[in-house]
Amino acid sequence: MRVFAAVVLACACGGSPAAVEPTPPAGAAAPTCARVAGHMADLVAAGIDPPPPDAEVNALIALIRTRCEDDGWTAEARRCLGTMQTAVDADRCGTLLTEAQLAALVRDQEQRLGGASEPTPEGNPAAQPSP
C-alpha cells in the first residue's frame, strides 16, 4: 500500500524543476477520468514486485476516478496525468491541479488506502510527519 501513496504524493509535492517533456497539444482530446485513473494505477503497479492484489489496484483506480470526476480535473490535467511516465512528469502534472484538488486526493488516499499509517518516503518533505 505504501507504493500506492507514491502516486498521490508525487502529484501532491510539486518537486524540483527538471527537464520537461512535451505535453500533448491542447486541442488533443482529453482522456476520461476512468482512463486517467487506470493509467496512473498501472504505472504504480508496474513498479511493484510482486504485483499488488487486484483489490488494491481497483481501490486506487476508484479513488483517482472519483476525485477526478467530483473535483472537475481540467482537460489539460487529464491529458498530462493520462500520459505521464516518470516522477518528473508526475511533478509537472501535479501543478495542473488546484491545491483543493490535491488536498482531496491526498485526504482520500489516506482514508481509503491507509496511507497515513504507512511509513513516509525519505527526502519527501510533503510526506514527512510534523514534529
- The per-residue pLDDT for range 8-52, each reduced to its tens digit, is 555 555 443 443 444 555 566 899 999 999 999 998 888 888 988
**What is the tally of structural domains in the chain?**
1
Q: How far apart are CA 90 and CA 15, in angstroms?
A: 9
For residue 34, being part of any structural domain is answered with yes
For residue 48, being part of any structural domain is answered with yes
Residue numbers of the domain that contains 50 = 2-14+30-114
pLDDT in tens, 73-125: 999 999 999 999 988 999 899 999 999 999 999 899 888 766 543 333 443 33
Query: Hey, CA dihedral for 18, 21, 27, 33, is it positive or negative?
Result: negative
Query: Hey, CA dihedral for 117, 127, 20, 69, is it positive or negative?
Result: positive
DSSP assignment, residue 128? Answer: S
Q: How far apart are CA 128 and CA 122, in angstroms?
A: 8
CB neighbours (10 Å) of residue 44?
21
For residue 56, being part of any structural domain is answered with yes
CB neighbours (10 Å) of residue 87?
16
Predicted TM-score (pTM) above 0.75: no
96: amino acid identity, one letter:
L
Q: Sort 40 into a burial class: Cβ within 10 Å, 0-12 / 13-18 / 19+.
A: buried
Q: What is the DSSP string of 107-127?
A: HHHHHHH-GGGSPPPTT-GGG
For residue 128, being part of any structural domain is answered with no
For residue 121, being part of any structural domain is answered with no
